[in-house]
Structure 1
Amino acid sequence: MIFKRKPKAAALGTALTELEEGVAARDGGRTGQAFDAVFQALRSAQDSDLVQAGPRLAALLPGFPPTGPRPTLATAAGFCVERGADPLACAGPILDAVHQDLRDALEFARRLAAAGAEPPEPDEANIDDALLTLLGGEPQHATRLALAWCAVEEWQAPALAVLCRSAEVRRRHAAALLPACRDLAALGHHDLKCLAYALALLDDEPVVVLHRPTGRGFELRIGAVADNFQLHTLLAHVLVGGGHLPGAAPSAESVRLATDPAPARGGSGAVATGAFELLAPNGDRIWNEGLPDDIPVVEGRRLLVLDTPAYRRSWNADRFFPLLPGTAELTRVLSADETRSWFARTTFAPGGGPAS
């Protein structure tokens, strides 16, 4: 929960109308007062009021002052989504703003690099006239870039509020944001792991799975699987637990934690145990610490090879995103000819070592 509820506040609808009018009039003083009133009202509003308020708050983002507390406004909209507002109705303005700040933060780093300077730690205390001069260009735009660099992690909470509650939101928005998120994270100044994982989620994704020791092949469809720890558990549940492959099936508790629609509450302490080695078609290891998105696409299908584990692995069975139950469904067992054809696209020979 983003905000704690408190007993007394002004009516949310009234405060929100005042904020909308202040933003429309570009009246900074009126906007600031209404902004504070909205946040007071959020703490005591009924869920039915928050359902209506979420899209209205999100809709203010495009017109909100670019150097104002936009992530905080988005967080308010995200709080309403947590309490029942439609994530799809709120997602466009929130994720467009996230995308803009990711790009602005990257532009901030690019300009400093062109000036021969390293970017500072993302703290507004580091923004001064000397830094803005290094950035060059119009001062207000330079300020916006610097503020984006400092505030980009604050966008994760509202972004996750909509991304983790709607596959349609992910389908519409995630692919456009993911490259910028990863590029910024690679600079090493921001912790954007949660946002990157949410943007990389696969929904209704077909995966061809080959089991090298038995030479068998399967087609599965996965969805909302946050990382390869969770994927590993689901693969073992479907293929070993379903009687298609030899080995020890995962515990009922680890499967429940991976798939139960009810969000987990706190750490369970449950442990999952690995049944496979996960490999790319070229023989590279696909790490449990990675993502299903790491599985290479070969001729329009993600192609994963399972092998005998090199050593015993175990991990905490709690899923990365408590709100998101993962799914893995066996859609069909591949014929022998199909399986041979898919193995031919890998460096492996079924039932043996690497292909010659």
Structure 2
Amino acid sequence: MIFRERALSKAVDRLERALEEQDEVLLNEAFHALSGAIQDAKPASRVEAGPRMAALLPRVPMGAEGILAVMVGACVEHGADPQACSEPILAGVGEAMRDVMEFPALWEDTVGGELPERNHLVLGEVVERIAAIGGMDARKFGAVSAWMQLPLWEMAGVAVLLHAGVRRAAQADGTLVALVEEAARGDADLKCLRYLLKMFEDEPLVVLHRPSGTGYRVRVTRIGDNFQLHTLLAHLLVGGGHIAGDAPSAEVVAAYRDAVPDGQPQATGVFNLCAADGSWIWNEGCPADIPLVDGERLLVLDPPTYGRTWNAGRFYPALPGDLTLEAVLTRADTEAYLAKTGPTRAWPDAA
């Protein structure tokens, strides 16, 4: 048993030695040992190993760093210090997003056709296909490596960004926030990373319920997507007796706050979420999609245009979220806000 407990520490020792000696055979052995040791390690071993592995990320050869980043993220998920692990992981995430934007053009100029599926296990095969036609250099390899490893980098980034201190620092810096939006305009979706980087910790929101002519001030806390926002709004406004309708069940509300749902409780759409200009705010989006109007986020609730149900559960299960009602607006204030809105579009793409 004691040997199993020390296996992870010894595997990190082996990785350090491989990098110091630049021994490719030993490096492969170290990665193999790490992947098995992390699965079997006790939490204390992961806590100790996480920062050690994170410190080695900048020295790992290109093409393998995403794999190590995921291992570090796994240690963070089991108690390793996210602050100590975050800097090299997020630096790698940023570099991968810069490099990945060059890959589609590189592929089109060489192999052409449908872009390859992102799978780090076939990185070498894609490198060979491109090199056979257009040669290979460090810049090209960086683009290929980023493309094939991007899901790994996203997983590792999410693992550290789930922690509020890391997330706030990244949001304040702004670099990753801008990069992930630019990268997502291409083929990469990066939804898990994007929504975390845009997550509100304590954001005021003005909500107007157009059918009843009522308005509310609420506060958004760690809400991952608009399915969660939609359901918690229904709980506050319908369940709170402010407007008519069918309130979500206690089980559904708990699943969107902090509980692990038992089975798959069903949530039902109560509203059509809209921006002040009448455009739709999709449930699949996140609260940051709600535009500012005169410095305030303004959300309009219209009747649903079609029936919709979904499985209740937080987009980020590890993060509890909440929506709190701060005030019911006066009729005069509600009318003033409604005057800033336009009619709901019959279909989201309608002009």
Category of TM-score, reference length = shorter chain: 0.7 to 0.9
| 1:23 shift after superposition | 2.7
1:245 aligns with 2:243: yes
1:55 to 48, 51, 66: 51
What residue is the counterpart of 1:35 in the other structure? Answer: 31
Letter in 2 for 1:169: V
Cα distance change on mapping 1:167 and 1:213 into 2, 3 Å = same
Question: Could you tell me the TM-score, scaled by structure 1's length?
Answer: 0.83
For residues 133 and 166 of structure 2, the distance between their equivalents in structure 1, rounded to whole angstroms, comes to: 38
| 1:176 shift after superposition | 3.2
Q: Deviations over 1:32-78 (max 9, x none)?
A: 443333334323322112112112211211222223x1111111111
8 Å CA contact 2:127–2:144 kept in 1: the answer is no
Runs of 4+ in 1 over 6 A off after TM superposition: 133-136
For residues 288 and 106 of structure 2, the distance between their equivalents in structure 1, rounded to whole angstroms, comes to: 31
SS in 1 for 2:323: strand
For residues 269 and 44 of structure 1, the distance between their equivalents in structure 2, rounded to whole angstroms, comes to: 30
Q: Deviations over 1:228-263 (max 9, x none)?
A: 111111001112222222322211111011112x44
For residues 282 and 329 of structure 2, the distance between their equivalents in structure 1, rounded to whole angstroms, comes to: 25
What residue is the counterpart of 1:158 in the other structure? Answer: 156
1:12 aligns with 2:8: yes
For residues 337 and 83 of structure 2, the distance between their equivalents in structure 1, rounded to whole angstroms, comes to: 38
What residue is the counterpart of 1:146 in the other structure? Answer: 144
| 1:169 shift after superposition | 2.1
SS in 2 for 1:246: coil
8 Å CA contact 1:207–1:301 kept in 2: the answer is yes
Cα distance change on mapping 1:300 and 1:60 into 2, 3 Å = farther
Higher mean alpha-carbon deviation, 311-320 vs 340-349, is at: 340-349
Q: CA RMSD in A?
A: 3.0
| 1:90 shift after superposition | 1.6
SS in 2 for 1:247: coil
| 1:215 shift after superposition | 2.3
8 Å CA contact 1:135–1:142 kept in 2: the answer is no
For residues 22 and 33 of structure 1, the distance between their equivalents in structure 2, rounded to whole angstroms, comes to: 9
| 1:200 shift after superposition | 3.5
1:168 aligns with 2:168: no
Letter in 2 for 1:283: G
Equivalent pairs, count: 338
| 1:133 shift after superposition | 7.2
Q: Deviations over 1:200-247 (max 9, x none)?
A: 333212111112122222111112222211111100111222222232
Cα distance change on mapping 1:218 and 1:255 into 2, 3 Å = same
For residues 73 and 242 of structure 2, the distance between their equivalents in structure 1, rounded to whole angstroms, comes to: 43
Letter in 2 for 1:46: K
1:81 aligns with 2:80: no
Cα distance change on mapping 1:264 and 1:8 into 2, 3 Å = farther
| 1:321 shift after superposition | 2.3
Higher mean alpha-carbon deviation, 22-31 vs 327-336, is at: 22-31
What residue is the counterpart of 1:223 in the other structure? Answer: 221
| 1:113 shift after superposition | 5.2
How do residues 49-128 of structure 1 correspond to structure 2 at under 5 angstroms? Answer: 49-67=45-63, 69-112=64-107, 117=112, 120-121=115-116, 122=118, 123-124=122-123, 126-128=125-127
SS in 1 for 2:48: helix
Cα distance change on mapping 1:110 and 1:168 into 2, 3 Å = farther
Q: Deviations over 1:98-148 (max 9, x none)?
A: 121121111222445577945630442552456247667x71332222121
Letter in 2 for 1:59: A
8 Å CA contact 1:9–1:43 kept in 2: the answer is no
What residue is the counterpart of 1:354 in the other structure? Answer: none
Higher mean alpha-carbon deviation, 100-109 vs 319-328, is at: 319-328
Percentage of identical aligned residues: 42
For residues 264 and 32 of structure 2, the distance between their equivalents in structure 1, rounded to whole angstroms, comes to: 41
Q: Which runs of 5+ in 2 are unaligned?
A: 345-351
For residues 139 and 198 of structure 1, the distance between their equivalents in structure 2, rounded to whole angstroms, comes to: 34
1:338 to 311, 316, 333: 333
For residues 176 and 133 of structure 2, the distance between their equivalents in structure 1, rounded to whole angstroms, comes to: 27
What residue is the counterpart of 2:294 in the other structure? Answer: 299
8 Å CA contact 1:209–1:219 kept in 2: the answer is yes
8 Å CA contact 2:107–2:115 kept in 1: the answer is no
8 Å CA contact 1:204–1:221 kept in 2: the answer is yes
For residues 190 and 198 of structure 2, the distance between their equivalents in structure 1, rounded to whole angstroms, comes to: 12
Higher mean alpha-carbon deviation, 49-58 vs 331-340, is at: 331-340
Cα distance change on mapping 1:291 and 1:234 into 2, 3 Å = same
For residues 302 and 197 of structure 2, the distance between their equivalents in structure 1, rounded to whole angstroms, comes to: 29
Q: Deviations over 1:287-343 (max 9, x none)?
A: 222222221122222110112223433222223222222210112223344333322
What residue is the counterpart of 2:347 in the other structure? Answer: none
Higher mean alpha-carbon deviation, 152-161 vs 52-61, is at: 152-161
Q: Which runs of 5+ in 1 are unaligned?
A: 1-6, 350-356
